Structure formats: structure tokens, C-alpha cells
Amino acid sequence: MTEIRTDWTRAEIAALFDLPFTDLLFRAAEMHRAHHRAGEVQLCTLLSIKTGGCPEDCGYCSQSVKAQSGVEATKLMDVQQVLQRAAQAKDAGSQRFCMGAAWRNPKDRDMPAIVEIVKGVGAMGLETCMTLGMLTPRQAEMLAEAGLDYYNHNIDSSPEYYERVISTRTFEDRLETLGHVRAAGIAVCSGGIVGMGETRADRVGFVHALATLPRHPESVPVNALVPVKGTVLGDMLADTPLAKIDDIEFVRTVAAARITMPRSMVRLSAGRESMSEATQALCFLAGANSIFTGDTLLTAPNAGDDADGALFAKLGLVPLQAAEPMREAAPLVALQATEDVL
């Protein structure tokens, strides 16, 4: 097994990005096969359990109250409605059920319902993941006690570019919540979005920030921006379409994440609906081993089950045959960023 490093430098990661493309893919594929079963991809479903009305100003998000996207705010879904959707997802072949609520942070009054949802979905044999915004230590403990497998809280971009996308909470706030999640013993799901107008140096910084955490996230979603009209970034890219990340650069980002975080599930997330089959195939070769199925991701379009089934058949891929290890006992320490990350 390859040594798991958390001491990557930005220069080392930049050198990975600079490799000839075929050399980079070869290294990523080797790393993937050293730690995961080749040809197996985990199928996940993402459900918005509370949509819109978020007070944050994330420039990519159609659910922000700052956006003019037409997304209407809803209340938290009824527990039984969520469980019904989870059962449908399992029947459709999903192995992991992810739930997102458009909150800055959950209120304590919301936690009993959230706990019941986690317990109910977990009882179906599905891997559970939630993204609810920032958490207090006690809220993280409640989710752990309910049996939550993963908590998603993305760092979004590099520390330097982050403040150009979001102003209502800081990069350090993100790390603090990840620390609460880790201390509670829940597996961490944290990644980000590329194609927001950032430079390659920012993509290097994004991977570096995750790869130098004291313990790598067990799950690393890599999203390509889905530009939504009425959001800051959606409108910006409509005016400057050349700012969109090209497919080869996106694959390079996936490969760098795989090489630097060998044991993580690298999740090919938002943006797949606009990717060619060839680009998706390159992402799988570069080490992506999880996708979201279905027609939507929260409020954004997704490739759809039929398209995914056809692609898997064409590429000879199969759903993950057995669940990856879930949560492990974690030391009660908060995440600390290295000096050059912050």
C-alpha cells in the first residue's frame, strides 16, 4: 500500500497538475487500483430536504436569498416523505442517500426531525450523508448518536479564492465545522467546485487544503460549476463563457485529488449532465469512484438513471459491490490548517 501523506506541498501538487496528461492519468489510475477495486462505482442519490431561503451569499448557489434564480423557499420535508424518497432511491439501485438542507446552520428545534430521518434511512441499509450548514459540537454529537455515516461540508475552493465567492462565512468557519464532525466520529465529506473563474493555482490550493488536513476526508466531491441564471457566478459566466473550465483541466483536478488522497472516495458530482461520455470515462480512469444518480442534484440538473446505465454498460463499470468502511473512531481533536493554507 502507498503511504498516506498529509504533508503535501503546493509545489508538489502543482507539479502533478503540470504532468503530461497521460502520465498524470497513469499515476492516478495506479493509485486508484492500489486502494480501491477498479471498475466499481458507488451510486448515490441526493435529495433536497429543505430548499431555498438560505441567508448565505454563495455566488454559485441558486438557493441563496441573494440570488434571483426563482427558487422558492420551502420548509423541512416531513420525516416520512424523506424516508419514502430514500426507499425509492434504494429500489433504483442507490447505495448512498445524501440529504441537503439550505440552512446557514440547523436550529436546535430542527434536530429531532433530522435525527429521526438519519435513523430511518440508516435502518434501510443505505449509507447516510447530510449537509445542513455549520454545526455546533453538540449537533455533531447528536448526528453521530443517530448513526450518521458522513457529514458533507465543502471548502468550495482555495483559501485565497474562497472570499471572492462567499462573504457570509469564512474558510476558517468551514474548517471549524469539519473539526466538530471529526471529533464526533462521523466520516468527513468535503470537496468543492471548479470552474468558478479560479486559476489553476487556486485548484492546486483547493486540493492542498484537503490533502494536508490531519486526516483526509473519507469523501471528496469534485463539482464542475453549473451556472444558474440569477446567481453571481451564473451571470458572470454567461457574460464570459471562456471562463468555464475545460474538460481536460477538470480531469486533472480529479486525478490530483486521487493521487494526494488515495483512500478517499472521489465523487464525480455536479456538472456531469454537461460532460461528454468521454470526459466522464477519463474521470473514472483518473480515480473517480462515485456518482450521483437521478435527474436532479438539489436544484441543478443531473445526467439521469437511464443515461448512467447506458454509460456503465458502455464502459464496463458496475455498482460498488460492497460498502466501503464507514465511520472509525476518531481522535477528539479539531482540524488545524497549515500556515500556508490560511
Q: Which helix (H) or strand (E) holds 249?
A: helix 247-260
Query: Which of 27, 96, 98, 283 is an active site residue?
Result: 98
> Which of 27, 61, 182, 283 is an active site residue?
61
Residue tagged active-site, from 27, 267, 272, 283 = 267
Q: Which of 58, 182, 272, 283 is catalytic?
A: 58
| C-beta separation of 135 from 171 below 8 A | no
Sign of CA dihedral 255, 167, 98, 85: negative
Active-site residue 58, yes or no? yes
Residue pair 158/178 in contact (Cβ under 8 Å)? The answer is no
Q: Any catalytic annotation for residue 61?
A: yes
Cβ contact 320:71 at 8 Å: no
Given the residues 27, 44, 96, 129, select the one marked as catalytic. Answer: 129
Out of 96, 169, 182, 189, the active site residue is: 189
Backbone angles phi, psi at 41, to 5 degrees: -130, 130
Q: Does the annotation mark 44 as catalytic?
A: no
- Decide if 283 is catalytic: no
Q: Is the separation of the CB atoms in 250 and 195 below 8 Å?
A: yes
Distance between CA atoms of residues 23 and 40, nearest Å:
22
Cell, residue 183: 471529533
Which helix (H) or strand (E) segment holds residue 200: the answer is helix 200-211
Which residues neighbour 38 within 8 Å (Cβ) at sequence distance 6 or greater? 29, 32
Cβ atoms of 166 and 58 within 8 Å: the answer is yes
Write out the catalytic residue numbers.
54, 58, 61, 98, 129, 189, 267
